[in-house]
């Protein structure tokens, strides 16, 4: 039912030394998996808007023995809101954040600002709402709508993945 961060991050093709931003990091499972892939010479920036989640994530990462994640309290929907320099990320992870975003184009513009040339985006979001799980039906962002948002902002589809029966996944490239 739920998507598997380890399998999804593996499909992104991260390598030792890369820099990755995890937008709306939440519990940090995607940040943790990305950190393991980029190794000690890479860095993951876990951006979260909820201050209490940032503190919890910092504590969890220590407990997990993960030291290459920088937790940031920031706004992923505002250009410059992540407090990360332009064109410094090899990849951005957007897992279950598009449907929650009130400024979807702002989110995509901030993603684009951070990415290096040929940087990748891992987008995973809910494809439906069911049995009280996932977003309310009117908050679901369809795969077609997500594709339109990203391609109109200059992203190209690299591949589609199947993260779970109730999620869609797309890997975009920023050329």
Q: Are the C-beta atoms of residues 72 and 50 closer than 8 Å to each other?
A: no
Residue 173 pLDDT grade (very low, low, confident, very high; cuts 50, 70, 90):
very high
Q: What is the DSSP letter of 130?
A: B
User: 3-class SS at 162?
Assistant: strand
Q: How far apart are CA 39 and CA 41, in angstroms?
A: 6
Backbone angles phi, psi at 43, to 5 degrees: -140, 140
Q: How far apart are CA 78 and CA 95, in angstroms?
A: 18
Q: What is the pLDDT of residues 105-163, one digit of tens each?
A: 999 999 999 999 999 999 999 888 777 677 777 788 889 999 999 999 999 999 999 88
Considering the segment(s) 5-138+146-174 as one domain, its CATH architecture is: 3-Layer(aba) Sandwich (3.40)
Backbone angles phi, psi at 54, to 5 degrees: -65, -45
Give the pLDDT confidence score for residue 1 in this predicted structure: 45
User: 3-class SS at 100?
Assistant: coil
Q: What is the pLDDT of residues 83-103, one digit of tens each?
A: 999 999 999 999 999 999 999
């Amino acid at each position: 039912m739920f998507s598997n961060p380890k399998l999804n991050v593996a499909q992104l093709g991260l390598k030792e030394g890369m820099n990755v931003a995890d937008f709306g990091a939440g519990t940090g499972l995607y940040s943790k998996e990305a950190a393991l892939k980029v190794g000690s010479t890479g860095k993951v920036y876990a951006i979260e808007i909820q201050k209490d989640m940032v503190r919890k994530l910092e504590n969890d990462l220590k407990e997990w023995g993960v030291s290459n994640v920088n937790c940031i309290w920031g706004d992923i929907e505002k250009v410059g809101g992540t407090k990360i320099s332009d064109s410094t990320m090899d990849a951005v992870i957007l897992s279950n954040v598009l449907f929650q975003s009130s400024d979807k184009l702002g989110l995509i513009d901030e993603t684009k600002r951070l990415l290096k040339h040929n940087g990748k985006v891992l987008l995973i979001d809910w494809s439906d709402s069911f049995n009280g799980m996932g977003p309310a039906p009117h908050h679901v962002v369809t795969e077609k709508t997500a594709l339109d948002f990203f391609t109109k902002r200059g992203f190209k589809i690299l591949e589609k993945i199947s993260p779970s029966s109730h999620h869609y996944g797309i890997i975009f490239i920023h050329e």
